[in-house]
Structure 1
Amino acid sequence: MSHEGDLKDFQTLPSRGHPDYGTTSSARNIEQNTSPVPDPSDPLPHGKLHRALSARQVQMIAIAGTIGTGLFLGTGKSLATGGPASILICYAIVGFIVYVTLLLLGEMATQYPVAGSFNAYATRFFSSSYGFALSWNYWANDSVSVASDLTAAQLVLEFWSVKHSWIVSLVFWVFLVSVNAIHVRAYGELEYWLSFLKVTTIIVFIIVGILVNVGVNQNHEYIGAHYWHIPGAPFVGGFGGFLSVFVTASFAYGGTESLGITAGETKNPSRNMPRVVKFVFWRILLFYLLSIFLIGLNVPYNYPNLSNKTSTTSPFTLVFEQAGSTVAASFLNTVVLTSVLSAGNHALFAGTRVLYGLSVTSPRQAPAIFSRTTPGGVPIYALLMTSSISGLCFGSSFIGSGTLWGWLQNIVGVSNQIAWLSIGIASWSFRRAWVAQGRSLDELKFRAKWTWPWGPPFVIFTVTVIIVLQGWSSVIPTFSAVDFVSFYVEIPIMIIMYLAWMLTRHLKSSKKFSNSASTEAPLSDEHSETSQGRRDRRWRSWWWGNDIVDIHTVDLYQDEHEEEEVDKADDEERERRSKQANVWKSTLWKLYYLIA
């Protein structure tokens, strides 16, 4: 339970439905707001984010966050270290976990479409200190992801033997910062068309991959499952190799959870967020598993330069090369390069919004300057701070692009897993609070019925097991300090940040507690021992229990989305188009709303 105001043993709360419900409980709970916290002493002007992302943009953004460098390049490393069977099984397991996680996030994001998304929900429904650590960790994750994508660009350019490839990364960096500084619509439109190109390319790849496997290749030979039976396959590296694929799979799927971050800038979130959650991931899962299965069939795990310290080759490009077309291979490599740009664009946007969310929460968890926005609704200082971390990519020329990208891939992958774990924790607390306060499940704007009640504990358990075991190969049979750190460095960082924020809050609250205690009336002798004992118990309760949010008093009404006139107009227009007299036109519109 949080004690950010008066430290009183009891407080009378208004009943649900009372006009003041949710306003008097702020002293006991950490709340997340979508608008900056007013501070009379703060001279900086602040602004709000704009709800300018359309349904088609949000859905494509969700796809772009997952179909990126992790699929186009990360699968090469996964195949080389784990083999074709490991990569297929691990990606299927992680895909299912992420799908359930996405449904849990969708419930909260539809009910409370706020800036900060799952970071805000962890703060609001579970723990202020944990939410603080998670938010800063995820911001660092997004910042490092930008660096990872720019490093990946240098790897992709090696296909054409480009010298001084860091210059191209620098140009990409300037371009991404410029686009994100204009307006959220500019970001959304760029992401939409880059995603459209990637989806189209993957469909073409699936067709080409099938043809290559059945004999339409340079050698005119039927491949079938031959590469599953070469020495060392289908499980490369044994149990350790199998486990190591989980972190690369998590890197590849990373980004699905950030669709919740777009909720604060999405039009008509009550309708669009559930549609995104229910439809997008099935398409992504289809793209991933089919692509990975074909990669395992057509590319041997021991292909030269598939993944090493100096370079990483995209298996997608190799399959097109096998089809006998150098031009097609170059074209696909160009698409891989655009996917790098798209992934960096997405990570930069998400990191900027997370930092903005930290600066507007109550109590504030980041400097107020990061809540300052341009007239177009862009948190400009948060953008500049996030983009500055991406300078890591230029270090690749000193230690090798392949090595640096492998480290960054592990770090980002683990950070993604921590995000999924946190969504499970926040959802579990949210659901318990909803039931404990007697609110009907029918009041939820979106509910994944089949995940009740097992969804949150399933996500928490499975992700925890993966995080603990996936670094097996860095310890057994030989210990690799660098690899071990890349697998587990996130854990102590989270713990340190959690304790630091808790200590900071305790130091501030202890002054209030001491002042409150000093103003109490003197105790009579006959009551001194009882009152002192009660005060000691109160102190212990404050120290150990004030950080965990009380599910019985957390405000479930604050920040609930109320449909605006523009939302109602959007619904009416959608209904009108779907009921047009022209059957063909009506069918086309329904198909458009389903797909786009």
Structure 2
Amino acid sequence: MVNQQRNIGYETPTSSNVDPDTSKTAFLDRATLVSETQDGVRIIDEQEEENLSRSLGQRHIQMIALAGAIGTGLFLSLGGALQTGGPLGALLGYGIVGLVVCAVQFALGETSALFPVTGAFVRHADILVDPALGFAVGWNVVYGSYLGVPSEISAALVLIEFWTDKYPALWITLLIIITFLVGIIFVGVYGEVEFFFALIKILLVVGVIIMGLMIDLGGVPGQERIGFRYWKNPGPFVEYLVPGSLGRFLGFWAVMINAVYSFSGIESLSVAAAETKSPRQNIPKACHRVFARVSLFYIVSVFIVGLIVPSNDSALNDDSGTAAQSPFVIAATRAGIKAVPSIINAVVLTSAWSSSNQAMLAGTRILYGLALKDQAPKIFLRTTKWGIPYVCVLLQTAVACLAFLSLSNGALTVFYWLLDLTAAGTLVSWATILFNHIRLHQALQKQGIVRQELPWHHWWTPYSSRIGLVFCILFLFTGGFSVFIKGNWDTTSFISSYLDIPIVIVLYGGWKIFKRTKILPLELVPIRAALDEMNDKPEDPIPPPNGWKRLNILW
């Protein structure tokens, strides 16, 4: 019988009175089998419980998720979405992806509330599906996160070049050092830094939305009212790659593919669950609230951009990587509002820094979680006295030095090169989250446990997870569809769109063959053990807000 926490999911648990031949276990009552195989199972590993510090509060994790999702995709990429899909195509594309994000967030919230472990969905795959899947997805996320730090530092260098192109090596060094310090110091410091960044981004989003409305409605002196003029001419949709209705559909589909990466980072909300106060209460709340806020910001922003900039505007061809390519900057410049470019560039710079911090958190915590399950060297379990896995941080900082490649190859080129290597990782992570959730509900049904016993649940999530999984798979396999259009073949785009698929398959198959792992039968998923652990160690209830705190709509 499996009775040690690190062995959850590594092999099919069996008790002394259960013959491996399933035909001989028919005489056993299912409830008895589940009870015996889950006896002694520990969901939260003793090491993560003792060595990591629970220092992230509700406001931290909610604002961390907001900071991760509101970044360069919102400020710089909306112009490309408008140019590809038109104002209505862009709005529909972001709206549909927003619904997929909703499915992912609620699935992550329900699963993380029951299994609040370091590494989140990577460890969930190990517990609910197959340790080989946890290994494959975990190392895929680690690889993406480790490359994410130098790519974001390269992006930050591009943004700095908006003002000056002097001392690039100094800027890279400073950014690496600052990212390292945020990653190695008490995790509460990271939470406060990301909280501050998120507030700045939210203020800017609100500001550019108000500015966009003023420009559209003729509130800027000397500027006439625009209204829905650009929805009529050049029109609500754009023909992309091919003419006619098919071209308009392809434009809309391309917007959805690109929108996925604008929302990337939102899945890392619970990777530090073991470092979060009252995670069974705070993580679901964050998943619920962050989805609504992020989706609202994106959809309103896309709508406003479609009003103030025409989809055929030549200024949208700017691919400098600075604020100059932002449609908000394009509209503000033409309206004579001169301060906007530098303000947006400054906030996007904080976004790049914030994204590198988040990649550091995700990469180090998931690598730590892999080491807990013997899927990475034990040296990565070493922590500082204040609960930081410092070996993981040191390794990721060393990889961050790849950002110095930008000194010889051009910062923007290196940024896109590194980013392309991790392009499909977001969809792999989302699909894993949704599949984990589906397996959770299948196991509940198999074991006769009602959803009401879960610490957080919704009646519709089993259906939304299935629909969301279908969309994620569609997005994953059509991510590079443009290269299959006649005359548009591009080897680099093909590799960047589909590289992650064979990587995950090879990692999964290799670990499965090497360790001879098995897909965990639904009746042996340790749900009862998790519920018992939750009931044995109840969290202190979070007091309801009072006074002025009741007016707070952000966290």
Superposition TM-score, scaled by structure 2 size: 0.87
Question: Which of 474, 480, 483 is equivalent to 1:474?
Answer: 483
Aligned amino acid, residue 550 of structure 1: P
Q: Distance in 2 between matches of 1:90 and 1:411?
A: 24
1:250–1:414 contact (8 Å) kept in structure 2 = no
Aligned residue number for residue 153 of structure 1: 156
Query: Post-superposition shift, 1:565?
Result: 8.6
Larger deviation, residues 144-153 vs 337-346: 144-153
Aligned amino acid, residue 167 of structure 1: L
Residues 168-209 of structure 1 show CA distances to partners (whole Å, capped at 9, x for unaligned) of: 233112101111101110100000011011111111111001
Query: Post-superposition shift, 1:17?
Result: 11
Q: Distance in 1 between matches of 2:67 and 2:201?
A: 8
Aligned residue number for residue 11 of structure 2: 3
Aligned residues: 528
Query: Post-superposition shift, 1:158?
Result: 3.5
Aligned residue number for residue 5 of structure 2: none
Aligned amino acid, residue 151 of structure 2: S
Q: Distance in 1 between matches of 2:161 and 2:231?
A: 28
2:128–2:436 contact (8 Å) kept in structure 1 = yes
Q: How does 1:302-313 map to 2 (within 5 A)?
A: 302-303=312-313, 306=316, 311-312=321-322, 313=325
Aligned residue number for residue 562 of structure 1: 534
Aligned residue number for residue 589 of structure 1: 549
Query: Would you say 1:365 and 2:375 are equivalent positions?
Result: yes
Q: Distance in 2 between matches of 1:219 and 1:159?
A: 28
Aligned residue number for residue 34 of structure 1: 45
Aligned in 2, Cα 1:353/1:16: closer, same or farther, shift over 3 Å? Answer: farther
Larger deviation, residues 119-128 vs 300-309: 300-309
Question: Which of 427, 432, 437 is equivalent to 2:447?
Answer: 437
Query: Post-superposition shift, 1:138?
Result: 1.1
Aligned residue number for residue 79 of structure 2: 76
Question: Which of 167, 179, 182 is equivalent to 1:179?
Answer: 182
Q: How does 1:30-179 map to 2 (within 5 A)?
A: 33-36=44-47, 48-165=51-168, 167-179=170-182
Query: Post-superposition shift, 1:304?
Result: 5.0
Q: Which consecutive residues of structure 2, in runs of 5 or more, have no partner in the other structure?
A: 1-8, 241-246
For the residue of structure 1 that corresponds to 2:161, the secondary structure is helix
Aligned amino acid, residue 338 of structure 2: T
Question: Which of 460, 483, 486 is equivalent to 2:493?
Answer: 483
Larger deviation, residues 402-411 vs 292-301: 402-411
Query: Post-superposition shift, 1:431?
Result: 0.8
1:47–1:373 contact (8 Å) kept in structure 2 = no
Provide the aligned C-alpha RMSD in A. 3.0
Q: Which consecutive residues of structure 1, in runs of 5 or more, have no partner in the other structure?
A: 38-45, 507-545, 579-585
Aligned residue number for residue 529 of structure 1: none
Aligned residue number for residue 333 of structure 1: 345
Query: Would you say 1:458 and 2:467 are equivalent positions?
Result: yes
Aligned amino acid, residue 330 of structure 1: S
Query: Post-superposition shift, 1:140?
Result: 1.6
Aligned in 2, Cα 1:400/1:84: closer, same or farther, shift over 3 Å? Answer: farther
For the residue of structure 1 that corresponds to 2:38, the secondary structure is coil
Question: Which of 276, 297, 301 is equivalent to 1:291?
Answer: 301
For the residue of structure 1 that corresponds to 2:51, the secondary structure is coil
Query: Post-superposition shift, 1:404?
Result: 4.1
Residues 435-466 of structure 1 show CA distances to partners (whole Å, capped at 9, x for unaligned) of: 21111222111002222x31222122111111
Question: Which of 347, 357, 369 is equivalent to 1:345?
Answer: 357
Superposition TM-score, scaled by structure 1 size: 0.81
Query: Post-superposition shift, 1:303?
Result: 4.6
For the residue of structure 1 that corresponds to 2:534, the secondary structure is coil
Q: Distance in 1 between matches of 2:37 and 2:147?
A: 41
Aligned in 2, Cα 1:229/1:390: closer, same or farther, shift over 3 Å? Answer: farther
Aligned residue number for residue 502 of structure 1: 512
Aligned in 2, Cα 1:49/1:171: closer, same or farther, shift over 3 Å? Answer: same
Aligned residue number for residue 523 of structure 1: none
1:251–1:410 contact (8 Å) kept in structure 2 = no
Query: Would you say 1:206 and 2:178 are equivalent positions?
Result: no
Q: How does 1:531-542 map to 2 (within 5 A)?
A: none
Query: Post-superposition shift, 1:118?
Result: 0.6
For the residue of structure 2 that corresponds to 1:454, the secondary structure is helix
For the residue of structure 2 that corresponds to 1:547, the secondary structure is coil
For the residue of structure 2 that corresponds to 1:325, the secondary structure is coil
Larger radius of gyration: 1
Q: Distance in 2 between matches of 1:397 and 1:279?
A: 41
Larger deviation, residues 46-55 vs 274-283: 46-55
2:63–2:198 contact (8 Å) kept in structure 1 = yes
1:309–1:400 contact (8 Å) kept in structure 2 = no
Identical-pair percentage: 32
Residues 45-66 of structure 1 show CA distances to partners (whole Å, capped at 9, x for unaligned) of: x962211101111111111110
1:474–1:480 contact (8 Å) kept in structure 2 = yes
Q: Distance in 2 between matches of 1:341 and 1:551?
A: 42
1:247–1:413 contact (8 Å) kept in structure 2 = no
Q: Distance in 2 between matches of 1:16 and 1:107?
A: 26
2:123–2:134 contact (8 Å) kept in structure 1 = yes
For the residue of structure 2 that corresponds to 1:326, the secondary structure is coil
Question: Which of 253, 260, 265 is equivalent to 1:250?
Answer: 260
2:155–2:415 contact (8 Å) kept in structure 1 = yes
For the residue of structure 2 that corresponds to 1:375, the secondary structure is coil
Aligned residue number for residue 582 of structure 1: none
Aligned residue number for residue 547 of structure 1: 518
Aligned amino acid, residue 124 of structure 2: Y
Residues 145-185 of structure 1 show CA distances to partners (whole Å, capped at 9, x for unaligned) of: 22332222123223324335453233112101111101110
Query: Post-superposition shift, 1:18?
Result: 9.7
Query: Post-superposition shift, 1:99?
Result: 0.6
Larger deviation, residues 349-358 vs 254-263: 254-263
Aligned in 2, Cα 1:241/1:388: closer, same or farther, shift over 3 Å? Answer: farther
Aligned in 2, Cα 1:153/1:226: closer, same or farther, shift over 3 Å? Answer: farther
Aligned in 2, Cα 1:19/1:428: closer, same or farther, shift over 3 Å? Answer: closer
For the residue of structure 2 that corresponds to 1:552, the secondary structure is helix
2:88–2:237 contact (8 Å) kept in structure 1 = yes
Q: Distance in 2 between matches of 1:321 and 1:356?
A: 47
1:309–1:403 contact (8 Å) kept in structure 2 = no
